[in-house]
């Protein structure tokens, strides 16, 4: 699918350009390459690109200046979306358009619903309202997303203004009688990408509110910025009457996002959490790859040098969910390798469909002729990988959206570590993954600790590609544990991150699936010790002691299962 994006240099547009590639080929325009004030240009560009999805992130956003340029604001915020909508309708494309809390007058004491009557009190608000109405009236497939108080580390916004002023002055005066939800532009882009993916197949039409959770005033936002960034300036609250500006702003900008949550289970994080992530963002390495192509066509993307490998065996029902959790990462892995483990059912077709949907430049599909266990499938993906790190995921599990960002940053900061894993949690169908505040703690794991128990589930692990050990071919049980042991036995460093970054839908040990075969697994553990002994990486006494300990654990497990 081709995606036409406008406003690629804006806050939301910049993030979108980096979130959309898994959905298709992104053709992104800035103001110079597509001027929304010129309807002929809009029509020409859309007809050239022939997109299946149009995302309009461009807008006239200078709220105060719009008071003196209402016609221009109307042209860009109302007439241009109308033209885009008409063109989308011609092509049968989906149009995603953004609107604002400023369509309301702010007199309602509680958060605004999509059904509340708008009543803008500024020229900007009026132009945005006309824009959303034009899109809705056009009859095209559309999503209109109203958001609020957008900020990020680029462009013009309240966060950057406060950071600048705090460096220039000792005391800031900030309005305390307007409440709203400051919303990080990256959260908007990530949610938009997910909505776009989920809407592709449906008859989508709708107006939704999309803002961060929680509420604060501009004063509260300023205080949190100063506290989080450790800047020393103090902040004094003032009423709006003491801050003169050409445009009036609503006193209550809060938008209820319950409709969106009910429709597709999307809920943005609490605003202070996102603010912390945004401010920490500068410190996270992005190591961009790719080259800049012709203007308008996006080829340069910030992707982290990680190859994600998913062994796929008869997983038609779950693989899309797993891949979506990779595509929703706050930092993209550079490639995704899906390995069909000779499933013999519709799995290979499902993988090819994912490759088409998410783009052949991002998804690679390998088809194995013979099924000799997940370890061999992972090895095939590892051997085909081109990135600095390999991260493994299983087809029936999912990741936390920040897994890649956190674990990759850790591996980059600790080049001596060859293997890292992290905590995981079991999750029920329909349950959403934890968006809890990340602690980003870690500790080194000794070889002895690994010998005593398998510290990592495979979907939690990231390994350096230059590690020479591999999963032992042909093994079906505990081959992952053996690999961790071989890595640690080779003198390489292993670490465990404390955050829960993987979620598994599998039943606990003993209930079903592979792990139900507890004796098979125990035998595999014993054979791991025997193998290490035979290859002279474990002494005789240690081997006997570990086998005894393993058998004792087995007896305890059997008694536990018998008592249930």
Ligand X SMILES: NC(=O)c1ccc[n+]([C@@H]2O[C@H](COP(=O)([O-])OP(=O)(O)OC[C@H]3O[C@@H](n4cnc5c(N)ncnc54)[C@H](OP(=O)(O)O)[C@@H]3O)[C@@H](O)[C@H]2O)c1
Q: 58 or 500, CB closer to ligand X?
A: 58
Q: How far is the CB of 119 from ligand X (least distance, A)?
A: 16
Distance CA 373, CA 30 (A): 49
Q: How far is the CB of 66 from ligand X (least distance, A)?
A: 10
3-state secondary structure of 383: helix
Looking at residues 147 to 206 of the shown chain, list those that interact with ligand X (rule: CB under 6 A): 147-150, 155, 185
Is residue 257 a contact residue for ligand X (CB under 6 A)?
A: no
Instruction: Please identify, among the stretches 30-38, 353-361, 385-393, 409-417, the one whose residues bind ligand X according to the rule CB under 6 A.
Output: 30-38
Exactly one of 5, 10, 218, 477 binds ligand X (CB under 6 A); that residue is 10
Q: List CB contacts of 147: < 8 A, sequence separation 6 or more.
A: 12, 98, 99, 100, 101, 183, 188, 209, 210, 211, 255
Is residue 442 a contact residue for ligand X (CB under 6 A)?
A: no
Distance CA 148, CA 185 (A): 10
Q: 9 or 518, CB closer to ligand X?
A: 9
Total number of residues that touch ligand X (CB under 6 A): 28
Q: How far is the CB of 52 from ligand X (least distance, A)?
A: 21
Distance CA 97, CA 448 (A): 56
Q: 46 or 185, CB closer to ligand X?
A: 185
Contact status, residue 82 vs residue 112, Cβ threshold 8 Å: no
Exactly one of 1, 9, 352, 505 binds ligand X (CB under 6 A); that residue is 9
Q: 148 or 305, CB closer to ligand X?
A: 148
Query: What's the Cα-to-Cα distance from 235 to each of 3, 169, 274, 413, rounded to whole Å?
Result: 43, 10, 21, 35
Residue 431: CB atoms within 10 A of its CB come to 12
> Binding string to ligand X for residues 81 to 120, with x set by CB under 6 A, is what?
-----------------x-xx-------------------
Looking at residues 362 to 421 of the shown chain, list those that interact with ligand X (rule: CB under 6 A): none
DSSP state of 37: T
Q: Which single residue brings its beta carbon nearest to ligand X?
A: 10
> Would you state the structure tokens that stand for residue 33, as one six-digit string?
């390459």
Pairing type for strands 462-464 and 417-426 reads antiparallel
Q: 9 or 371, CB closer to ligand X?
A: 9
Q: How far is the CB of 183 from ligand X (least distance, A)?
A: 8
Exactly one of 36, 162, 463, 521 binds ligand X (CB under 6 A); that residue is 36
> Binding string to ligand X for residues 489 to 528, with x set by CB under 6 A, is what?
----------------------------------------
Distance CA 39, CA 186 (A): 29
> Binding string to ligand X for residues 52 to 71, with x set by CB under 6 A, is what?
-----xxxxx----------
Exactly one of 17, 35, 273, 340 binds ligand X (CB under 6 A); that residue is 35
Exactly one of 12, 129, 140, 390 binds ligand X (CB under 6 A); that residue is 12
Active site residues: 124
Q: 81 or 459, CB closer to ligand X?
A: 81
Cα 195 to chain centroid distance, Å, stands at: 12
Q: How far is the CB of 335 from ligand X (least distance, A)?
A: 29
Is residue 31 a contact residue for ligand X (CB under 6 A)?
A: yes
Distance CA 544, CA 564 (A): 31
Distance CA 333, CA 390 (A): 9
CB contact burial 154-191 (16+ within 10 A = b; e otherwise): ebebbbeebbebbeeeeebebbbebbbbbbbbbbbbbb
Q: How far is the CB of 146 from ligand X (least distance, A)?
A: 7
What backbone phi and psi angles, to 5 degrees, belong to 91? -90, -10
Contact status, residue 464 vs residue 388, Cβ threshold 8 Å: yes
Looking at residues 128 to 157 of the shown chain, list those that interact with ligand X (rule: CB under 6 A): 128, 147-150, 155
CA 193, 36, 84, 362 dihedral sign is negative
Residues engaged in binding ligand X (CB under 6 A): 7, 9-13, 30-31, 34-37, 57-61, 76, 98, 100-101, 128, 147-150, 155, 185
């Amino acid at each position: 699918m081709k995606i036409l994006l406008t406003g690629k240099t804006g806050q939301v547009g910049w993030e979108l350009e980096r979130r959309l590639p898994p959905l298709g080929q992104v053709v992104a325009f800035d103001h110079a390459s597509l001027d929304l004030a010129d309807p002929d240009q809009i029509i020409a560009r859309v007809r050239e690109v022939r997109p299946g999805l149009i995302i309009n992130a461009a807008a006239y956003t200078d709220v105060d200046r719009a008071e003196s340029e209402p016609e221009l604001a109307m042209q860009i915020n109302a007439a241009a979306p109308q033209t885009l909508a008409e063109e989308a309708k011609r092509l049968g494309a989906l149009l995603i358009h953004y609107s604002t809390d400023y369509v309301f007058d702010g007199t309602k004491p509680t958060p605004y619903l999509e059904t509340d009557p708008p009543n803008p009190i500024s020229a900007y608000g009026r132009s945005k309202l006309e824009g959303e109405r034009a899109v809705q009236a056009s009859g095209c497939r559309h999503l209109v997303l109203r958001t609020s108080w957008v900020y990020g580390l680029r462009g013009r916004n309240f966060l950057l203004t406060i950071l600048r002023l705090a460096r220039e002055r000792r005391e800031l005066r900030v309005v305390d009688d307007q409440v709203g939800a400051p919303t990080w532009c990256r959260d908007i882009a990530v949610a938009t990408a997910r909505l776009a993916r989920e809407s592709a197949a449906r008859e989508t039409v709708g107006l939704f509110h999309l803002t961060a959770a929680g509420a604060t005033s501009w004063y509260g936002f300023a205080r949190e910025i100063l506290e989080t960034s450790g800047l020393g300036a103090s902040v004094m609250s003032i009423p709006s009457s003491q801050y003169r500006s050409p445009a009036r702003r609503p006193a209550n900008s809060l938008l209820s996002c319950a409709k969106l949550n009910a429709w597709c289970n999307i809920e943005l994080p609490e605003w202070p959490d996102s603010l912390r992530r945004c401010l920490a963002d500068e410190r996270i390495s992005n190591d961009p790859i790719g080259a800049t192509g012709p203007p308008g066509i996006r080829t340069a993307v910030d992707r982290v040098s990680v190859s994600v490998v998913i062994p796929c065996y008869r997983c038609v029902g779950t693989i899309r969910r797993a891949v979506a959790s990779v595509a929703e990462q706050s930092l993209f892995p550079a490639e995704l390798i899906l390995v069909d483990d000779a499933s013999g059912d519709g799995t290979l077709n499902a993988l090819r469909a994912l490759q088409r949907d998410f783009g052949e430049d991002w998804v690679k599909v390998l088809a194995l002729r013979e099924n000799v266990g997940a370890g061999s499938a992972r090895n095939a993906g590892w051997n085909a990988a081109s990135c600095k790190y390999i991260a493994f995921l299983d087809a029936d599990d999912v990741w936390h959206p920040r897994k890649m960002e956190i674990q990759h940053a850790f591996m980059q900061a600790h080049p001596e570590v060859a293997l890292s894993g992290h905590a995981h949690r079991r999750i029920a169908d329909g349950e959403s993954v934890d968006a809890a505040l990340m602690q980003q703690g870690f500790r080194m794991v000794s070889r002895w600790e690994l010998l005593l128990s398998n510290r990592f589930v495979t979907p939690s692990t990231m390994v350096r590609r230059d590690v020479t050990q591999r999963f032992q071919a042909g093994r079906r049980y505990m081959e992952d544990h053996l690999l961790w042991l071989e890595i640690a036995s080779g003198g390489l460093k292993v670490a465990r991150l404390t955050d829960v970054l993987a979620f598994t839908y599998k039943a606990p040990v003993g209930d079903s699936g592979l792990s139900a075969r507890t004796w098979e697994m125990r035998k595999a553990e014993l054979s791991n010790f025997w193998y290490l002994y035979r290859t002279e990486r474990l002494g005789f006494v240690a081997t006997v002691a570990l086998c005894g300990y393993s058998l004792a654990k087995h007896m305890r497990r059997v008694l536990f299962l018998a008592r249930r």
